[in-house]
Amino acid sequence: MKRIADQITINIGEYYASKYPVIIKTILGSCVAACLYDPVNRVGGMNHILLPGKADLRHYDDRSRYAVNAMELLINEILKKGGIRKNLVAKLFGGGNVLSSIKFKYFVGNHNIAFLKEYLKIENIKIISHDLGGTSTRRVFFNTFTGDVFLKRSGKDLRDKIVASEKKWSKKVEKKIKKYNPVDIF
């Protein structure tokens, strides 16, 4: 009898890596997920990124929600588990414009996508596949042992739940940012 891999769910701002067969799953709206995989040593991991850029670590403790921090944390975890940096390849998902009322240039999903692609280019990690942008939400299932991804675009009911979850997290982030960085809006 063949053993089915364990499943781990990650949410906004979380990441997970394993050298053992595990299915990492998440649900994405405007957030993005990077699935990194070392095909030689069969070590892989995934993160769930809320915002592009990096956190102000002096004032903000939820650093893994930001792209730079989330990528560095995931890469370091993969290396700790036996992965080798030069072997890493990436599969990217998410960044959907699930709130059609937001204008394209202000839409955070586009910024997440652009930032992640630039980061991987600078870090010399090849993107071997992606499913980015559009208006769909996505369920992503990543097998850390084979590097395979099963992707399912979601219907309206799940889309509404994801939008609500992302709004909730965004409001929490905005409150923390305003607490430390007052901004005048004209």
Active site residues: 31
Report how far apart the first and last C-alpha atoms of the chain are (Å, whole number): 65
- The answer to whether residues 65 and 55 touch, using CB atoms and an 8 Å cutoff, is yes
What is the 3-state secondary structure of 99-144?
CCCCCHHHCHHHHHHHHHHHHHHHCCCEEEEEEECCCCCEEEEEEC
| Structure token digits, residue 71 | 């990528």
- Comparing C-alpha atoms, which of 155, 151, 119 is closest to residue 132? 151
